Structure 1
């Protein structure tokens, strides 16, 4: 079964997908199929027995290498020179995300599922202009085939992409303007990305320094520090090495979770007909209801169970406000939160464990410690992996060693950490907002460029209609008669006085050669 898109349908698909106007064009421009301005060469299915990672032979560009400057795969067999790609050539991945890029690496061979696009005459169409234009079409194809398990793009489909055709001089002006605008935007985006990379290490530092009392440790009192493991003496665990735990500040002690919690219990899941989405009596929490920043978010696909199920079949997984929840099935592990007071009773599924703090530990401290990367890493090392899924045993949670300071220190450290984490959350929100604005700005710049509004029009430019005629004349001289796309009729004086039609502003493309995208 194949999904087909005509050029006109591709234009409409791009508009629906939110592509940044890349399929639009200015009223003085024409439209030309990519196959009329460029050659599209499919890669060759080189035999895998000649592949190696030992630098033996010539680099081989596979689909994973599109957008990279080098390939880790080499080919040591015979090949034809037509499949060589040089630095500066444009390549396109024809499966998955349909990435397009300029190759900057050494001479390399073109493997199957990657094609090379070569502009025939740079005086007709600029390669850099094509590099800016083409991703919008590829995004549109990807959006139109979002339900396809494995997306595949044929070279014939690439040849039929209906590109906008401005005068060559205008193409060059657009490229120059885009280079200027987007290079500055890219520099700002990289600065934002750098700031974003700092957030996780900061949160890690805050949680670990608080949980292990690093900022409070008095290293001059070694006797007090070294005694922090004495309450674990006499206990043994196959999962944790209690003797290897780091020393804590004076007055702090390592304790087993089961010794400082009233109970530790995992949840369970009833049959599907007993769970009710949207509304019900008892809120039923799943892992996706626990956020990475330590909150319960029951607005995310809320599920309920009835009170009878809560008190009977699921009575062992009942939880209440103040209980601390953490997931034991991942990835990721470490999603931890305190049950809020929104409801007097809750229930949890089998992928969550509930800790009910005893008198020696505050729930907020328990949640902070369970989020600490140091404590979390101890849990993760015990996790059993099955089919890419990590599972932590309930008995492991009960044996987990936790750092327990005096209650007043717990309260103070929780408050200090909350202030710092709040700063981090605000910063993360600002970074996310800035990233979104940068993305929207990029889209806006591209939209202006490909609707003819980024640079000025020049009456001295060769008309796009003349350029299109020359492109087709050159093709006919080469002995290949192109499949013509109907040109939009030029306006007459009478036509200019008529109101615009109610149909789509995208001109119809009557020669709609079908695009094949196998499902």
Structure 2
């Protein structure tokens, strides 16, 4: 956008024309200890809903290094790199919560010049991060690096200072309401998840919809055939005798994700041995998360002649078990707790085996009662899924509305322009003059310092050193996508 297309009073600038952009100090072994240990922020301390200061590390900073890397109220820190493109450039606003706090080179500090509202710049940089602009401009393979030089040259639209503040006031109001709405949606989604878990438990107990079904506890080995899968090896690189190959990534809890199916080479007799049959239950063998252990989904013959990897265990029910009934009770919290217990290891991983799966006990009612429980559960699932669709639609509309509001805010269409405002071009000239003179931004005083200054002015006999500090400094309220 050229200056002639900008809203009245706005200018297009590079970020480093209106702020100081600096990469943090590298963490090296020699600074792990020392007699000048100081707190510092790293990428893990920056979240989408504000700074996370419950785990702030320390390393040695000399006095001269502190002068370079100290954070001042009003500074913005951004994640310099991430393995996830969405996390690149995620910003947070520093409000002086920790004295003499510095920052590491996993962060880039943006220090706004006098006349640039830090909250405006924070919202603008967050907008760029959320819409993926920083990720597109990042470099690297696997880890996406934004880099201080790239950020310094980032194009920014700057309104007059008074308009910056109007934008912040209106934008924060809109975003806080959207935050509240999205938090309500998330709570409703969690309630739907709890409702479905309750249905699954009722199926396992045999008391869904208020009636009691008698069931006997049976070992899985008594009512199903349990088998392992094929280990992926170099010799199985697909060449000529290839077949569809299901992996752990294809199995979620209660559903399959078949968007990406790999191929594997099979040898004589293996297709007959490993071919999946309609009604097989695919169980995930291991996972670092105890909540995901043993998650399972039924195979309905979606792809002909498919086989599965050795990190999936196949449970093929015999005539006593309905496959859908087995899938429902297997994913119930009652059975998942049992799976978690048998899979626990001393290493912290949770790993199942065919032997462990065979040893699991499950309730087995009559086939007629299984059919009745399945019918009732399917009705509940339809209702719960309908509610989830509504919630997903509401979440999507909220995201669209958020994006629309942000688009308008940073295009000059959210609040009206006031011809009485000092143009941003004048502000930019003043910043350039002050820089030429070597004038740096004065540290923004915290609320505690302002209270001390007021008290000192009211009683000249007092000095800031004898004023009792008042706790509870104001901290910038952040928003979460």
| TM-score normalised by L of structure 2 | 0.74
Say which of 248, 258, 280 aligns to 2:221.
Answer: 258
User: Would you say 1:159 and 2:145 are equivalent positions?
Assistant: no
- 1:284 and 1:149 mapped to 2: Cα distance? 26
- 2:262 and 2:24 mapped to 1: Cα distance? 50
User: Would you say 1:425 and 2:391 are equivalent positions?
Assistant: no
Structure 2: 5+ residue stretches without partners: 83-87, 441-481
- 1:451: Cα distance to partner? 1.4
Say which of 90, 98, 102 aligns to 1:99.
Answer: 90
Contact 1:267 1:349 in 2 (8 A): yes
Counterpart position of 2:373: 413
Contact 2:250 2:257 in 1 (8 A): yes
- 1:152: Cα distance to partner? 4.0
- 1:274 and 1:350 mapped to 2: Cα distance? 20
- 2:168 and 2:255 mapped to 1: Cα distance? 47
- 2:404 and 2:214 mapped to 1: Cα distance? 59
Counterpart position of 1:29: 10
Deviations 1:214-261 (A, max 9, x none): 55899xxxxxxxxxxxxxxxxxxxxxxxxxxxxxx7732110111112
Say which of 119, 130, 136 aligns to 1:128.
Answer: 119
Give 3-state SS (helix, strand or coil) of 1:456's partner. coil
User: Would you say 1:397 and 2:357 are equivalent positions?
Assistant: yes
Counterpart position of 1:338: 298
- 1:382: Cα distance to partner? 3.2
Please list, as runs of the form range in 1=range in 2, the aligned pairs for 1:49-64 lying within 5 A after superposition: 49=33, 59-64=39-44
Deviations 1:108-151 (A, max 9, x none): 411322344333313xx221211111224454232333653334
Give 3-state SS (helix, strand or coil) of 2:78's partner. strand
Please list, as runs of the form range in 1=range in 2, the aligned pairs for 1:239-318 lying within 5 A after superposition: 251-261=214-224, 263-268=225-230, 271-273=236-238, 284-292=245-253, 294-298=254-258, 300-303=259-262, 309=266, 312-318=269-275
Give 3-state SS (helix, strand or coil) of 1:314's partner. helix
Contact 1:284 1:349 in 2 (8 A): yes
Please list, as runs of the form range in 1=range in 2, the aligned pairs for 1:345-424 lying within 5 A after superposition: 346-383=306-343, 390-424=350-384
- 2:78 and 2:209 mapped to 1: Cα distance? 57
Counterpart position of 2:51: 68
Structure 1: 5+ residue stretches without partners: 1-10, 12-23, 219-248, 481-519
Counterpart position of 2:285: 328
User: Relative contact order (alpha carbons < 8 A, sep ≥ 6): 1 or 2 greater?
Assistant: 1
What RMSD over aligned residues (CA atoms) do the two structures have, in Å? 3.6
Give 3-state SS (helix, strand or coil) of 2:293's partner. coil
| Pair 58,206 (structure 1): closer, same or farther in 2 beyond 3 Å | farther
- 1:410 and 1:39 mapped to 2: Cα distance? 68
Say which of 396, 401, 413 aligns to 1:436.
Answer: 396
- 1:94: Cα distance to partner? 2.8
| Pair 426,260 (structure 1): closer, same or farther in 2 beyond 3 Å | same
Give 3-state SS (helix, strand or coil) of 1:49's partner. coil
- 1:59: Cα distance to partner? 4.2
Q: Decide which structure has the larger Cα Rg and report it.
A: 1
Deviations 1:458-516 (A, max 9, x none): 33333333333333233223389xxxxxxxxxxxxxxxxxxxxxxxxxxxxxxxxxxxx
Say which of 176, 180, 183 aligns to 1:190.
Answer: 183
Deviations 1:14-49 (A, max 9, x none): xxxxxxxxxx95476312222232234554457222
Contact 1:275 1:304 in 2 (8 A): no
